[in-house]
Structure 1
Amino acid sequence: MNPIKKLRSSKVLTRLRRDQNGAILTELALSVPIFLTLLTGVVETGNYMLMNLKLQHTVVSIADLVTRDETVSEDVIADIFEAVPQILKPFPTGDRARTIISSISQTEDVVASVFWQRSGGGDFDAASTLGQEGDAVTLPAGLTLRDNETILATEVFYRYEPLVFSFIEAKTIRKVSYFRPRIGALQEIEP
């Protein structure tokens, strides 16, 4: 290579190394995508955590409403299911949510089983993990039933779809709450 050309190219490289013009823009161009990814991750995580809190609040509120009175009717259950979209706001319900209330009881002749079960609060296709009406139930450890005693199990299912990260698969979240009726056994539901 020609010594003059070599000298010129070395001067150009030295000058480029010393030149600070545009350095901030280059750093900004490299760091902005990383910061935006972190920010959207924080938003996504916060949204998921809020959804879990809302679902836990919903399942406890619904169980509390059902167990307040000595008896419960179909109309009262329907009204309680109407409250689910209000409790879950700002998250949409519709085909994403389903609430299932199961009355679990036993008598001297019948082992712990689902005496009645109702579902509503959304159109999401979910089945109770406890079983259907008439099915025997295995209660979680620590929950015991005596004869003619009832536990109301409330399950809330929600199909969570990420806000930003569409590559993350949608997930069904299930929350459950067990309450004993304050008064009465609630083994039957009035028409």
Structure 2
Amino acid sequence: AGLRFIVGSRATKAPADLASHFRWHGDAFTDGQVIDTITPRVATTTARGVNDEQKRAEPVWDPAVHERSWRAVWSYSAKRAARDAKTLTLQENRAKAVIAGEKAARTPRFVTVKNGSRSLDETSLARARRVVGLKGYVTNIPATLMPAGEVIASYHELWHVEASFRMSKSDLRARPIFHHTRDAIEAHLTIVFA
């Protein structure tokens, strides 16, 4: 339909989207760093091939060239990293408590069950720790129309839309109406709501 969008991306997609960054720079990020790259639309080998980690520079998304991919913007925040690290530590401690039998609960994150015995999933935990502080945004808006900083700023304005929608659902205010037929009442409320 030719519509444009900006949505949040899952942190689990970061290692694939940022393969080149991780290869050339490791886990090092600076506060406020923004990386504009590509994320595959579909989970095929061809689609994943757009992020060539042999190249030092991140690929620039072009809708004509990258038909099976979207543009991905990743930003790093030290404040988010501290919060994410704290959350991961709590999840790790909970997983260890469940494994030790100190807590009886559903299987928490980072616990694997093999042959009836529980163990800490070190690989998943390390992968999660590697992407703390990162937040991803996926869009179909080219960098020529909207720079990465504007993509992030636009996504952060979403709360205004959500707040106004919540307000319109809960705080619909109308003057007293003195209509007697159903059609007149519905017409009046439709106009007030619009």
TM range (shorter): under 0.3
So what's the TM-score if we normalise by structure 2? 0.26
So what's the TM-score if we normalise by structure 1? 0.26
Higher radius of gyration, 1 or 2: 1
